[in-house]
Amino acid sequence: MSTCIRKSVYTGKIQGVVLDWAGTAIDYGCMGPVSVFIEAFNRFGISVSAAETRQFMGLMKKDHIRGMCGLPSVKARWIDKYGWEPGENDVAELYAEAEPLMVAQITSHAEPIPGLLEFIYELRNNGIRIGSTTGYTRPMMAAMLPVAQKQGYAPDAVVCSSDVPAGRPHPYMCYQNAIALQVYPLEAMVKIGDTVSDIQEGLNAGMWTVGVTQSGNCLGLTPDQIERLDKVELARRLQAIENTMREAGAHYVADGIWSCLPIIRDIDKRLAHGETPAGCFNRHSEN
């Protein structure tokens, strides 16, 4: 890589792709974390739904709990049981319950999403490096990584929310990936994720962003559940998720990682013509 100061628009190819973990690369439907948060609240005598839990997916896990405690519905149940609104001490106690549960649970949801390994193979064949960001903490990923590796997935860089000053939507995890992968400029990188906070993270870092709809948290269904769902209803839900991703600023939207390789090729063409992530939005869909 040249050490000269860049004075022109980048017109090279994509050099790095940064993937989210659950719902994007592994754990179709993002099932592991949901069950943990439900159980953690249940241990405090508070019933929470999967829908309430999924609203904050993608955030650092303590921030996720903080967000759930701020929901009017959850707050009302807490007040009814304890007589006060959930505060930071309560968030800390909930997190203390959730962290060991998370370490134990997520390793049973480490199966690669269909198409991931083929996608990684093609990227590496083209000299593209693979990074990752996650709302999981380093202890959680220490348990996850060897399990994922045994199933064929081992990105070149893994950055956790606990490794940086703040998690999503802040760009720090993406910056750390750029450093670890030695990729510059940032418009030579693509962030792929299944939550709005993933999209915001990538945009804040100055990267191209891709939102995945079918395999992720927003739909929140396993392949078997999707197979049983009425096709019209599935299309309606996916369209709503796509609209949300586009409103968040996603440059591209795809059903899942299996549809992302043509997107990388399209971005290469756009870069060659001098386009940048900051200069264009919402052009393409692979649904």
Average pLDDT of 33-52?
A: 92
- The residue annotated as part of the active site, out of 7, 13, 20, 150, is 20
pLDDT in tens, 141-154: 999 999 999 999 99
Is residue 254 domain-shared with residue 217, that is, in the same domain? yes
pLDDT in tens, 91-110: 999 999 998 888 888 888 89
61 given a catalytic annotation: yes
- The residue annotated as part of the active site, out of 27, 61, 63, 255, is 61
pLDDT-derived band at 42, boundaries 50, 70, 90: very high
Tell which residue, 145, 66, 131, 69, has the closest CA to residue 103. 145
pLDDT in tens, 59-100: 888 899 999 999 999 999 999 999 999 999 999 999 999 988
| Alpha carbons 246 and 282: distance in angstroms, whole number | 6
Is residue 96 domain-shared with residue 155, that is, in the same domain? no
- In this predicted structure, the answer to whether residue 201 has a pLDDT above a threshold of 50 is yes
Show the domain range for 42.
Answer: 31-108
The reported pLDDT for the residue numbered 21 is: 95
Mention every residue, 6+ apart, whose C-beta is less than 8 A from residue 76: none
CB neighbours (10 Å) of residue 141? Answer: 21
pLDDT in tens, 229-276: 999 999 999 999 999 999 999 999 999 999 999 999 999 999 999 999
7 given a catalytic annotation: no
Find the CATH number of the domain harbouring 177.
Answer: 3.40.50.1000
Is residue 279 domain-shared with residue 200, that is, in the same domain? yes
| Alpha carbons 18 and 190: distance in angstroms, whole number | 6
- In this predicted structure, the answer to whether residue 286 has a pLDDT above a threshold of 90 is no
